[in-house]
C-alpha cells in the first residue's frame, strides 16, 4: 500500500523520505509542488530526478478519491462526489460496485465576492441521523483519514476558476468531533504555512454537540471557530429531529460552549436550520433568543433545502424574516445565510443520496 501525500505533515514527509532512501530536501520539493503550485503530476515536477519520480510513483499517491460526480450551480457553487478506495480490502477498486460498500462523500466550493469557502466532510455517512438531512441516510460507514479530509480542500481549490481557498468549514457529511483525531490532524495541515495556509479564525468546526469533545477542542492549540448545530430551542423538539440529542441537553451543550469561549476567546456560532411549520414559529424565536443571550454567540439562520423522500418543508420567506427580526429585537446578532446551489443537489448528502437512488 502506497503512502498518501496529504496524510503526512512536514515531519511525516521527512520520515517517509528517509525510510525510502530519498534525499533530505525531497519533502520540501514536494510541498512546494503540491501546496504552492498545485501540481500532483510527477512528470511535471521538473526539479526531481527521473529516478526519484519513478521511485515515488511506486510508493506515494496523491489522490485517494475518484471523482464520481461534479455539479455546478448558476451561482458558482461547485459540488463534488468522491469515491474512496476501501482500505480494509487490499486491492479493492476505487469505485465499489456494491452500493452498500461504496465509500462516497461530498465536498462543496462556495464562492462569494470576498470568500472562497471549502465545505468538507469528515466521515463517510453520518452517525447522528438528523431526520431532515440526507447525510445520515444509511448510517455511518466509517471515518475519513486526515489525508482524505485535506485532499478534499486541496481538490476544491484546484477547480477551474476557483483560485486560493480563503475559508474551510467542516459542515459536510459526518460529525467532526466523532472523528476528533483525524479532524484535528487535518486542521493542522490546512492551517500550516507550508500547507494550505488558512488562519484558524477562518476554519469552522460544526458539531451537533458532544460536550466532552467540545471541551477537548477548547484545549486544541488552534482557536478555530466552533459552530453548534442547535436547530431547536427545546429539548423535546431537538430530540425529535436529532436522535443524538438524547445524549446531551441544550443546557449542557451551552455550558460546554461557554467553556469553549472562555478558553479560546472565540464567539460561538449557533446554527439553526428553519424547517417550515416545525421550528420556525415566533415562540421558537423567542426561546432561541433567550438561549443565545446566555453566551457570546451569533445565530446563523439557514433555510432548509428540501430532500426527496423526507417529510420536511422549506420555510416561507415571511416566516424567516420574522424569525430574524424577533432575534434582533432581543439584541441577538442573527443572520440569514444565503441559499446556495439551489439548482443542484445543494443539501448536505443530497448528491450522494440522489446518485444512489437513481443508479
**Fold adopted by 3-60:** DNA polymerase; domain 1 (1.10.150)
C-alpha span between 300 and 171 (Å, rounded): 13
- For residue 238, the Cα-to-chain-centroid distance in whole angstroms is 22
Catalytic residues: 106, 348
C-alpha span between 228 and 210 (Å, rounded): 10
C-alpha span between 203 and 224 (Å, rounded): 6
Cell 411549520 sits on residue: 277
Cell 460561538 sits on residue: 268
C-alpha span between 347 and 307 (Å, rounded): 7
pLDDT band for 163, please (50, 70, 90 cuts): confident
C-alpha span between 128 and 106 (Å, rounded): 17
For residue 355, pLDDT beyond 50: no
H/E segment holding residue 240: helix 235-241
Average per-residue pLDDT for the chain: 90
HEC-encoded secondary structure of 162-225: CCCCCEEEECCCCCHHHHHHHHHHHHHHHHCCCCCCCCHHHEEEEECCCHHHHHHHHCCCCCCE
Kindly report, as residue ranges, where domains of CATH 1.10.150.530 are found in the chain: 3-60
CATH class of 65-358: alpha beta
C-alpha span between 71 and 80 (Å, rounded): 7
Kindly report, as residue ranges, where domains of CATH 3.20.20.70 are found in the chain: 65-358
- Sequential DSSP letters for 50-102: HHHHHHHHHHEES--EEEEEEEE-TTS-EEEEEEE--TTSTT--SS-SSTTT-
Alpha carbon distances (Å) from 204 to 7, 130, 187, 310: 20, 20, 10, 28
Q: Write down the pTM of the prediction.
A: 0.91
Average pLDDT over residues 151-170: 94
User: How would you label 166-180 residue by residue, b for 16+ Cβ within 10 Å and e otherwise?
Assistant: bbbbbbbbbbbbbbb
User: 21-63, pLDDT tens digit by residue?
Assistant: 999 999 999 999 999 999 999 999 999 999 999 999 999 999 9
User: 315-354, pLDDT tens digit by residue?
Assistant: 999 999 999 999 999 999 999 998 766 655 555 544 444 4
Q: Which of these, 179, 262, 168, lies nearest to 213 by C-alpha position? A: 179
User: 180-213, pLDDT tens digit by residue?
Assistant: 999 999 999 999 999 999 999 999 999 998 899 9
User: 206-232, pLDDT tens digit by residue?
Assistant: 999 889 999 999 999 999 999 999 999
User: 126-147, pLDDT tens digit by residue?
Assistant: 999 899 987 777 789 999 999 9
For residue 108, pLDDT beyond 70: yes
List phi, psi (to 5°) of 312.
Answer: -120, 150
Q: So what's the pLDDT on residue 87? A: 63
Strand partners, 169: 119, 204
Query: Dihedral of CA 163/224/275/80: which sign?
Result: positive
pLDDT over 70 percentage in the chain: 90
Q: So what's the pLDDT on residue 86? A: 76
For residue 238, pLDDT beyond 90: yes
Q: So what's the pLDDT on residue 1? A: 74
Q: What is the CA radius of gyration of the chain?
A: 21
User: 57-81, pLDDT tens digit by residue?
Assistant: 999 999 999 999 999 998 889 999 9
User: 275-319, pLDDT tens digit by residue?
Assistant: 999 999 999 999 999 999 999 999 999 999 888 888 899 999 999
Amino acid at each position: 500500500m502506497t503512502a498518501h501525500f496529504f496524510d503526512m505533515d512536514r515531519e511525516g514527509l521527512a520520515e517517509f523520505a528517509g525510510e525510502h532512501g530519498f534525499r533530505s530536501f525531497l519533502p520540501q520539493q514536494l510541498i512546494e509542488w503540491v501546496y504552492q503550485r498545485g501540481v500532483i503530476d510527477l512528470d511535471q515536477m521538473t526539479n526531481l530526478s527521473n529516478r526519484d519520480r519513478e521511485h515515488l510513483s511506486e510508493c506515494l499517491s496523491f489522490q485517494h478519491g475518484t471523482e464520481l460526480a461534479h455539479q455546478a450551480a448558476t451561482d458558482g457553487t461547485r459540488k463534488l462526489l468522491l469515491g474512496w478506495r476501501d482500505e480494509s480490502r487490499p486491492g479493492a477498486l476505487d469505485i465499489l460496485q456494491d452500493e452498500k460498500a461504496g465509500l462516497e462523500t461530498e465536498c462543496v466550493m462556495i464562492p462569494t465576492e470576498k470568500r472562497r469557502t471549502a465545505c468538507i466532510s469528515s466521515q463517510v455517512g453520518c452517525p447522528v441521523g438528523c431526520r431532515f438531512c440526507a447525510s445520515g441516510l444509511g448510517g455511518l460507514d466509517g471515518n475519513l483519514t486526515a489525508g482524505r479530509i485535506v485532499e478534499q480542500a486541496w481538490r476544491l481549490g484546484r477547480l477551474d476558476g476557483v483560485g486560493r481557498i480563503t475559508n474551510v468549514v467542516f459542515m459536510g457529511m459526518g460529525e467532526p468531533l466523532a472523528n476528533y483525531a483525524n479532524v484535528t490532524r487535518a486542521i493542522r495541515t490546512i492551517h500550516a504555512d507550508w500547507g494550505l495556509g488558512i488562519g484558524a479564525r477562518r476554519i469552522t468546526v460544526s458539531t451537533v454537540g458532544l460536550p466532552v469533545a467540545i471541551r477537548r477542542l477548547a484545549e486544541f492549540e488552534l482557536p478555530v471557530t466552533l459552530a453548534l448545530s442547535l436547530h431547536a430551542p427545546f429539548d423535546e423538539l431537538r430530540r425529535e429531529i436529532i436522535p443524538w440529542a438524547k445524549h446531551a441537553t441544550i443546557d449542557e451543550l451551552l455550558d460546554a460552549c461557554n467553556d469553549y469561549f472562555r478558553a479560546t476567546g472565540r464567539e460561538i456560532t449557533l446554527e439553526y436550520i428553519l424547517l417550515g411549520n416545525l421550528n420556525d414559529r415566533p415562540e421558537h424565536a423567542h426561546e432561541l433568543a433567550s438561549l443565545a443571550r446566555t453566551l457570546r454567540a451569533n445565530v446563523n439562520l439557514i433555510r432548509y433545502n428540501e430532500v426527496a423522500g423526507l417529510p420536511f418543508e422549506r420555510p416561507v420567506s415571511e416566516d424567516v424574516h420574522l424569525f430574524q427580526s424577533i432575534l434582533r429585537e432581543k439584541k441577538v446578532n442573527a443572520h440569514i445565510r444565503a441559499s446556495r446551489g439551489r439548482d443542484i443537489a445543494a443539501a448536505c448528502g443530497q448528491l450522494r443520496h440522489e446518485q444512489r437512488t437513481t443508479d
